[in-house]
Structure 1
Amino acid sequence: MYQDPSDSPVHSPSPEHTTTTVERGSFCLARCSCGWSGAARRSRDRARTDAQEHLGAPEERG
Protein backbone atom coordinates (compact mmCIF):
# COMPACT_ATOMS: atom_id res chain seq x y z
CA MET A 1 0.00 0.00 0.00
CA TYR A 2 1.41 3.38 -1.03
CA GLN A 3 0.32 6.70 0.44
CA ASP A 4 1.03 9.68 -1.79
CA PRO A 5 2.65 12.29 0.50
CA SER A 6 1.42 15.14 -1.70
CA ASP A 7 -2.18 14.08 -0.96
CA SER A 8 -1.93 14.03 2.80
CA PRO A 9 -3.99 15.54 4.40
CA VAL A 10 -6.67 16.51 1.89
CA HIS A 11 -8.60 18.80 4.22
CA SER A 12 -9.23 18.85 7.95
CA PRO A 13 -12.04 21.13 9.15
CA SER A 14 -12.08 19.52 12.60
CA PRO A 15 -9.28 17.92 14.60
CA GLU A 16 -10.93 14.49 14.80
CA HIS A 17 -11.06 14.10 10.99
CA THR A 18 -7.90 13.87 8.91
CA THR A 19 -8.25 12.47 5.41
CA THR A 20 -5.59 11.00 3.15
CA THR A 21 -5.50 9.16 -0.14
CA VAL A 22 -4.00 5.70 -0.39
CA GLU A 23 -3.01 3.82 -3.52
CA ARG A 24 -3.65 0.10 -3.98
CA GLY A 25 -2.29 -1.09 -7.28
CA SER A 26 -3.97 0.96 -9.99
CA PHE A 27 -6.65 2.23 -7.61
CA CYS A 28 -6.72 5.15 -5.17
CA LEU A 29 -9.06 5.55 -2.22
CA ALA A 30 -9.72 8.15 0.43
CA ARG A 31 -9.46 7.32 4.13
CA CYS A 32 -10.27 9.27 7.27
CA SER A 33 -8.93 9.03 10.81
CA CYS A 34 -12.53 8.41 11.99
CA GLY A 35 -12.49 5.02 10.22
CA TRP A 36 -14.35 6.00 7.05
CA SER A 37 -13.01 4.70 3.75
CA GLY A 38 -14.16 5.76 0.29
CA ALA A 39 -14.63 3.64 -2.78
CA ALA A 40 -11.59 2.54 -4.79
CA ARG A 41 -11.18 4.88 -7.75
CA ARG A 42 -8.88 4.90 -10.77
CA SER A 43 -8.83 8.71 -10.57
CA ARG A 44 -6.84 10.35 -7.76
CA ASP A 45 -8.89 13.51 -8.24
CA ARG A 46 -12.12 11.58 -7.64
CA ALA A 47 -10.66 10.03 -4.48
CA ARG A 48 -9.76 13.54 -3.25
CA THR A 49 -13.31 14.67 -4.02
CA ASP A 50 -14.67 11.71 -2.02
CA ALA A 51 -12.58 12.85 0.95
CA GLN A 52 -13.82 16.44 0.64
CA GLU A 53 -17.42 15.26 0.43
CA HIS A 54 -16.93 13.10 3.52
CA LEU A 55 -15.75 16.15 5.42
CA GLY A 56 -18.61 18.26 4.11
CA ALA A 57 -16.12 20.65 2.53
CA PRO A 58 -16.92 22.52 -0.66
CA GLU A 59 -15.11 21.16 -3.71
CA GLU A 60 -11.95 23.09 -4.50
CA ARG A 61 -11.02 23.71 -8.13
CA GLY A 62 -7.57 24.84 -9.06
Structure 2
Amino acid sequence: MLNLPAERPHAPALPHRTSVTENGSFAIANCTCGWRGPARRARDRARRDATRHSSD
Protein backbone atom coordinates (compact mmCIF):
# COMPACT_ATOMS: atom_id res chain seq x y z
CA MET A 1 0.00 0.00 0.00
CA LEU A 2 1.35 3.43 -0.96
CA ASN A 3 1.44 6.13 1.65
CA LEU A 4 0.52 9.22 -0.36
CA PRO A 5 0.17 12.64 1.24
CA ALA A 6 -3.40 13.74 1.80
CA GLU A 7 -4.65 16.26 -0.71
CA ARG A 8 -5.32 19.64 0.75
CA PRO A 9 -7.84 21.97 -0.78
CA HIS A 10 -6.19 25.01 -2.34
CA ALA A 11 -6.72 28.23 -0.47
CA PRO A 12 -8.20 30.98 -2.61
CA ALA A 13 -5.56 33.31 -3.97
CA LEU A 14 -5.41 36.58 -2.10
CA PRO A 15 -5.49 39.77 -4.12
CA HIS A 16 -2.19 41.56 -4.55
CA ARG A 17 -2.21 44.81 -2.61
CA THR A 18 0.53 47.11 -3.79
CA SER A 19 1.88 50.33 -2.40
CA VAL A 20 4.73 52.70 -3.13
CA THR A 21 7.13 53.71 -0.38
CA GLU A 22 9.81 56.35 -0.49
CA ASN A 23 13.35 56.01 0.74
CA GLY A 24 15.20 59.28 0.28
CA SER A 25 14.93 60.25 -3.39
CA PHE A 26 13.84 56.76 -4.44
CA ALA A 27 10.34 55.26 -4.73
CA ILE A 28 9.86 51.50 -4.41
CA ALA A 29 6.76 49.46 -5.28
CA ASN A 30 5.86 46.76 -2.73
CA CYS A 31 3.22 44.03 -2.59
CA THR A 32 1.65 42.01 0.20
CA CYS A 33 2.86 38.82 -1.54
CA GLY A 34 6.48 39.79 -0.86
CA TRP A 35 7.30 41.15 -4.31
CA ARG A 36 9.37 44.31 -4.42
CA GLY A 37 10.09 46.41 -7.47
CA PRO A 38 13.32 48.19 -8.32
CA ALA A 39 14.11 51.55 -6.73
CA ARG A 40 13.02 54.35 -9.05
CA ARG A 41 13.73 58.06 -8.98
CA ALA A 42 10.40 58.73 -10.69
CA ARG A 43 7.36 57.99 -8.52
CA ASP A 44 5.17 57.44 -11.59
CA ARG A 45 7.47 54.62 -12.78
CA ALA A 46 7.25 52.95 -9.36
CA ARG A 47 3.44 53.23 -9.52
CA ARG A 48 3.50 51.66 -13.01
CA ASP A 49 5.64 48.79 -11.67
CA ALA A 50 3.02 48.20 -8.95
CA THR A 51 0.17 48.32 -11.47
CA ARG A 52 1.89 45.84 -13.78
CA HIS A 53 2.54 43.47 -10.89
CA SER A 54 -1.10 43.63 -9.75
CA SER A 55 -2.40 42.85 -13.22
CA ASP A 56 -0.10 39.85 -13.82
Give the count of matched residue pairs: 44
Structure 1 pair 56–16 and aligned structure 2 pair: CA distance change class (3 A): closer
Residue 36 of structure 1 aligns to a residue whose secondary structure is: coil
Render the CA deviation track for 1:2-50: whole Å, top value 9, x for unaligned.
Answer: xxxxxxxxxxxx8431100000110001000000000000000000000
Equivalent runs, 1:24-39 vs 2, <5 Å: 24-39=23-38
- The 1-side partners of 2:29 and 2:14 are apart by 17
% identity of equivalent residues? 52
TM-score normalised per structure 1: 0.64
Segments of structure 1 that go 5 or more residues without pairing to the other structure are: 1-13, 58-62
Larger radius of gyration: 2
Residue 54 of structure 1 aligns to a residue whose secondary structure is: helix
- The 1-side partners of 2:47 and 2:38 are apart by 11
- The 2-side partners of 1:15 and 1:35 are apart by 12
TM-score normalised per structure 2: 0.71
Segments of structure 2 that go 5 or more residues without pairing to the other structure are: 1-12
Residue 16 of structure 1 aligns to a residue whose secondary structure is: coil
